[in-house]
Amino acid sequence: MLELYYKLPFAMERVKNSPLNPFIEELVEYFHSQNLSYNYVQKMLKGVTRFGYWLQKKKISLKKLSAEHVRLHKDELISQGASMPNDERSGIRHIFNLIQKKHPPRLTPVEKEVEVFLRHLQDNCGLNECYIRGLGKTLLKFLRHFFQDGKISLKSVTPVMVEEYIQDIPKTRANSNRMRCCCVLRSYVSFLKMIGKSPHQMELGIPIIHGLPRTVSPEIVSSKDMETLLKSMDRTTLEGKAAYAVITCLSDLAMRAMDVCRLSLDDIDWRSAKMRIRTPKSGEPFYLPLTKHVGKALADYIRHARPKSEFRQVFLRKPHGLVKTATAASLRVIVNRQWKKAGLDDRFSGTRILRHTAATKLVQNGFGLKVIADVLGHSTLASTNVYAQADIPSLRQVARVWPIPEVK
């Protein structure tokens, strides 16, 4: 199988002498079974071969291989004026995962603590996997700051030390980094109490960080711009059918991008004309009406444009011939491409503006905040109140003229 991709004798010789040789053979068989394009596999294997040569030159054992070595390899390439394209980075990630399965790394006490905490968040709190990874990085950074990779002893962490650590985090306009750290530490303290461990005095040093007030931009997509956007899509092509179905879900039903990519074929009740939305933000599913406009767009996509697959998710993607489930990032790429095609990319971008537009129009049409909260999947009205601020026509009606005193 290797002969298909390593046709030159010196390249084959380098692979055979590489410490990654047994893993490369397994990786090539996996790529071949997934029907990936030949050029894509070649680019990934180029990165893998270069990484193996670097490991051999640095005399790094596969048993001691870590993500830090991957980062050092990338930094060295950049310092030499070279680069690591996404295809090569993807190949290295694949080979690194294979090595980690055969030679699982020994976790330090700090890493074990973070792993247990993240497992709790996933099993008991039902949070999104990407969100959990972000929380884990924040907690790992905090624990390593005080304990490096040694034994954890929270008794030695005083409230003053915790507050100083948080104040040293670079301040942003919205204070988001400091707020995220405080949120993670409070969750970690609650977790310690739940399992019977004492956080000691650490929780007393977690300050209350205030961010910017929640607001929504008053700018929304007008009916004329929305019509321009929808007409810009060529619905005779597979890409056009997929883009039209995605954008109608976002604009007509005010769905989040992550809710659209999580939508399953089993969530659509065609007879009752409703859809079940399963979102990790609220924790519990809720239902939205399946309008004729959205239903026709989804049916057209599912029948004529959706790749054949065992996946139950409605929206799929096919990078390099490999069928995968859509992600929020891939949906943003689709929508941004349509903004540009419609000539509206100078004013609009991303998917959030479509959700804001749908919610703002509901407010302007006189729907109550409770109804809007149910449509948006908000668990509290506090999250929905921000859309009342964007109802400019109604605010103008209740605004009073500022009295100007007469000049004598």
Decide if 403 is inside a domain: no
pLDDT of residue 29 exceeding 70:
yes
Tell whether 44 and 189 lie within a shared domain. no
Question: Is residue 289 classed as helix, strand or coil in its secondary structure?
Answer: strand
Tell whether 78 and 142 lie within a shared domain. no
Question: What mean pLDDT do residues 267-278 have?
Answer: 91
Residue 277 lies in domain: 223-395
Instruction: Yes or no: say if 104 and 61 are a contact pair by the CB < 8 Å rule.
Output: no
Tell whether 84 and 152 lie within a shared domain. no
Decide if 166 is inside a domain: yes
Tell whether 114 and 90 lie within a shared domain. no
Measuring CA to CA, how many Å separate 227 from each of 83, 231, 285, 339, 352? 42, 6, 31, 12, 18
Give the pLDDT score at 142.
93
Q: How many domains does the chain have?
A: 3
φ and ψ at residue 277, rounded to 5 degrees: -105, 120
Q: Is 237 exposed, middle or buried (0-12, 13-18, 19+ CB in 10 A)?
A: exposed
Give the pLDDT score at 116.
92
Give the pLDDT score at 385.
72
Decide if 358 is inside a domain: yes
Give the pLDDT score at 181.
92
Residue 138 pLDDT grade (very low, low, confident, very high; cuts 50, 70, 90): very high
Decide if 404 is inside a domain: no
Tell whether 138 and 275 lie within a shared domain. no
Give the Cα separation of 373 and 355 in Å (integer): 12
Residue 393 pLDDT grade (very low, low, confident, very high; cuts 50, 70, 90): low
Tell whether 278 and 386 lie within a shared domain. yes
Tell whether 286 and 345 lie within a shared domain. yes
Decide if 274 is inside a domain: yes
Tell whether 227 and 201 lie within a shared domain. no
Overall pTM surpassing 0.75 (yes/no):
no
Q: Is 153 exposed, middle or buried (0-12, 13-18, 19+ CB in 10 A)?
A: exposed
Model confidence pLDDT, tens digit, residues 322-346: 788 898 889 999 999 999 999 998 8
Tell whether 279 and 353 lie within a shared domain. yes
Tell whether 164 and 255 lie within a shared domain. no
Min mean pLDDT across 241-250, 273-282, 334-343 is at 273-282
Tell whether 68 and 117 lie within a shared domain. no
Min mean pLDDT across 100-109, 284-293, 391-400 is at 391-400
Measuring CA to CA, how many Å separate 147 from each of 151, 197, 228, 372, 403? 7, 18, 57, 47, 63
Last residue of a domain, one of 205, 237, 270: 205
φ and ψ at residue 275, rounded to 5 degrees: -130, 140
Decide if 215 is inside a domain: no
Model confidence pLDDT, tens digit, residues 173-220: 778 889 999 999 999 999 999 998 888 888 888 988 877 666 555 578
Hey, which of 251-260, 280-289, 358-367 has the most confident mean pLDDT? 251-260
Residue 295 pLDDT grade (very low, low, confident, very high; cuts 50, 70, 90): very high
Decide if 237 is inside a domain: yes
pLDDT above 70 as % of the chain? 90
Average predicted confidence (pLDDT) for the chain = 84
pLDDT of residue 390 exceeding 90:
no
Decide if 68 is inside a domain: yes
Last residue of a domain, one of 56, 73, 102: 102
Tell whether 159 and 25 lie within a shared domain. no
Last residue of a domain, one of 102, 119, 141: 102
CATH number of the domain to which 330 belongs: 1.10.443.10
